Amino acid sequence: MTDALTILPPGRPLRGRVSPPGSKSITNRALLLAGLAVGESRLTGALKSDDTRHMANALRAMGVAVEEPEDTGFVVRGSGRLRAPAAALFLGNAGTAVRFLTAAAALAGGEVVLDGDAHMRKRPIAPLVEALRRLGVVAEAPTGCPPVTVRGRGGFEGREVSVDAGLSSQYVSALLMLAACGAHPVRVALRGDAIGARGYIDLTVAAMRRFGGVVEAEGGSAWVVQPGGYRAAELHVEPDASAATYLWAAEALTGGAIDLGVAAGDFTQPDAAAYPLIRDFRHLPPVIDGSQMQDAVPTLAAVAAFGAAPVRFTGIGNLRVKECDRVHAMATELSRLSPGLAVEDGDDLVVTPAPREGFRAARIETYGDHRIAMSMALAGLMVPGVTILDPGCVAKTYPDYWRDLGRLGVEMRAEG
């Protein structure tokens, strides 16, 4: 991939049809559940990206047969058991893979070390490790972040666990998917009221049920999972709603018409809630709670820069522990376009639109974060001279992002 891409504003409405990639969230859940199931599962419409590659490779290292017969398909053959891998599992900066597999490693017969890149080694995992210990799993993460060591014993004995999910709902999802493989019913409860995007737990529960898991909610803060494991299934993965936000934004910013092949209302992922806000970006509400659509916040911040009035994004403290500190990154990079365009206020992000003549060309740092690259590229549709550094980082979840923009008629100039 090139070192940098300069976006050339199209100066016209973008029109055409683009199919977003499959959902990363659903693909990685389905891969793990298929790996824990007995029999052959088939996934269609799935995402092929860095994150899902790390999950698939880790499952292969743990004794699961994973084949890729087509560009958007996986065939997974599981025995209902996992084995200890011969070497540490390297999972890049794939948060879902690290967290889900940390819990699943309890089912392996031996030591499992889960590690990642420099960014992953800064992402918290201590709440999940502590919860696993309360289930009787031997696990440790000395720094509170990966690497994590789990000494699997083929199962676990605990029947009830609570977890602090204030930093990530993925901790809850990891425990829920593990719980179905226990010998007894397991109750998973929240510790405190704070939780990351709750809608992703709903995705987890739906995927578990698709693979034969039995799980029921107790109010809004606990779930009871029955034993019995999982059975093989066929699953078609819906398109990625987070990826769709960039295309919805490209359409709205340019006054175009982009057909994604799926209506916004047909998505089950939380980030689809951003659609009506993006569509009416010139008149956004003065305060937007981003807690339940966290991955859409960078997109919303980018379009807010071209709105009619200031917008404060709240409930986004968790964005500081994503692939990078996204609150700081968006404030810094938007302000390269116009000083003070975006500022941090505690954990909030405040975007104050500037007159169009106040914008200037800028070279955008992406911090190795796919969402910073893709959201800031949207500004390049409106402002001449926006250059995205390390554009290849989009391979984490949307490898064809630049190609798809090109198909819509966006011209880009490559460097390096």
**From the annotation, which residues make up the binding site?**
24-25, 29, 95, 123, 168-170, 295, 318, 322, 326, 371, 396
Report the number of secondary-structure helices (H) and strands (E) in the chain. 12, 23
Strands 257-259 and 15-17: parallel
Q: Are residues 188 and 215 in the same domain?
A: yes
Q: Are residues 218 and 261 in the same domain?
A: no
Q: Which of 49, 68, 23 has its CA nearest to residue 400? A: 49
The residue to which tokens 């914008």 are assigned: 359
User: How far, in Å, CA of 153 to CA of 237, rounded?
Assistant: 32
Q: Are residues 367 and 292 in the same domain?
A: yes
User: Which range of residues forms the domain containing residue 90?
Assistant: 24-236
The residue to which tokens 């390269």 are assigned: 336
Q: Are residues 54 and 122 in the same domain?
A: yes
User: How far, in Å, CA of 352 to CA of 116, rounded?
Assistant: 36
| φ, ψ for residue 249, nearest 5 deg | -70, -40
**From the annotation, which residues make up the binding site for phosphoenolpyruvate?**
24, 95, 123, 170, 326, 371, 396
User: How far, in Å, CA of 295 to CA of 99, rounded?
Assistant: 17
pLDDT tens digit at each of 416 positions of the chain: 689 999 999 999 999 999 999 999 999 999 999 999 999 999 999 999 999 999 999 999 999 999 999 999 999 999 999 999 999 999 999 999 999 999 999 999 999 999 999 999 999 999 999 999 999 999 999 999 999 999 999 999 999 999 999 889 999 999 999 999 999 999 999 997 767 678 999 999 999 999 999 999 998 899 999 999 999 999 999 999 999 999 999 999 999 999 999 999 999 999 999 999 999 999 999 999 999 999 999 999 999 999 999 999 999 999 999 999 999 999 999 999 999 999 999 999 999 999 989 999 999 999 999 999 999 999 999 999 999 999 999 999 999 999 999 999 999 999 97
Q: Using the 8-state DSSP alphabet, how is residue 390 labeled?
A: S
Query: End of a domain among 182, 201, 236?
Result: 236
Query: End of a domain among 236, 255, 270?
Result: 236
Q: Are residues 230 and 266 in the same domain?
A: no
User: How far, in Å, CA of 410 to CA of 88, rounded?
Assistant: 42
Q: How much is the pLDDT for 220?
A: 84
Cross-strand partners of 161: 188
Query: Is 190 exposed, middle or buried (CB count within 10 Å of its CB: 0-12, 13-18, 19+)?
Result: buried
Q: How much is the pLDDT for 356?
A: 87
Which residues are part of the catalytic machinery? 295
Task: Classify the C-alpha dihedral 297-299-304-305 as positive or negative.
Answer: positive
Q: Using the 8-state DSSP alphabet, how is residue 38 labeled?
A: E
Q: How much is the pLDDT for 416?
A: 76
Q: Are residues 126 and 163 in the same domain?
A: yes
Query: End of a domain among 209, 236, 263?
Result: 236
Q: Which of 214, 266, 243, 199 has its CA nearest to residue 377? A: 243
User: How far, in Å, CA of 79 to CA of 37, rounded?
Assistant: 6
Q: Are residues 258 and 404 in the same domain?
A: yes
Q: How much is the pLDDT for 196?
A: 67
Q: Are residues 312 and 372 in the same domain?
A: yes
Q: What CATH number is associated with residue 32?
A: 3.65.10.10
Query: Which amino acid makes up residue 311?
Result: V
Strand, helix or coil at 86?
A: coil
DSSP H helices in 218-367: 241-254, 275-279, 297-304, 326-337
Q: Are residues 395 and 266 in the same domain?
A: yes
Instruction: Supply 89's token pair.
Output: 């599992």
User: How far, in Å, CA of 197 to CA of 267, rounded?
Assistant: 15
Q: Are residues 61 and 190 in the same domain?
A: yes
Q: Are residues 116 and 262 in the same domain?
A: no
Q: Are residues 226 and 281 in the same domain?
A: no
Q: How many domains does the chain have?
A: 2
